[in-house]
Structure formats: C-alpha cells, structure tokens
Amino acid sequence: MDGSGDTWFLDLVGTYEALPFGLKSTIARHRIFHDTGYTSAGTVRTNTTAGGAQ
C-alpha cells in the first residue's frame, strides 16, 4: 500500500439521531427495499422479474 488512498466513513445512525424531530417525523412513514429486478438506471434487468424484492 502506498498510503495515497482516502477512506471516508459515514455513521448513518449518528446522522439520523442528529436530525431535527420534525424531519424524523416526516420521514418515519417511508420505507425502502432492494429490488434486484432493476438496474441502477431504473431499467428492468434481463431475465428477471421486476418487483421481486431480495
């Protein structure tokens, strides 16, 4: 290793806890899931069924 790489870390728990109460209340009802039927561009993957959360 040459030591030239930058490494960044993100504390999502700490970030969430630091949010104002009103914003936490606003986002509390939202949910997300990973659907392997779609690419990162939002198109349906070949040979898969969209909507098949994994």
Question: Is the pTM of the predicted complex or chain greater than 0.85?
Answer: no
Per-residue confidence of the chain (54 residues) as pLDDT tens digits? 676 777 788 888 999 999 999 999 999 999 888 788 888 888 888 876 655 544
Q: What does the pLDDT read at residue 36? A: 82
Q: By the 8 A CB rule, do 48 and 36 touch?
A: yes
Q: What does the pLDDT read at residue 28? A: 92
Phi first, then psi: what are they for 44, rounded to 5°? Answer: -70, 130
Residues 6+ apart with CB under 8 A from 33: 53
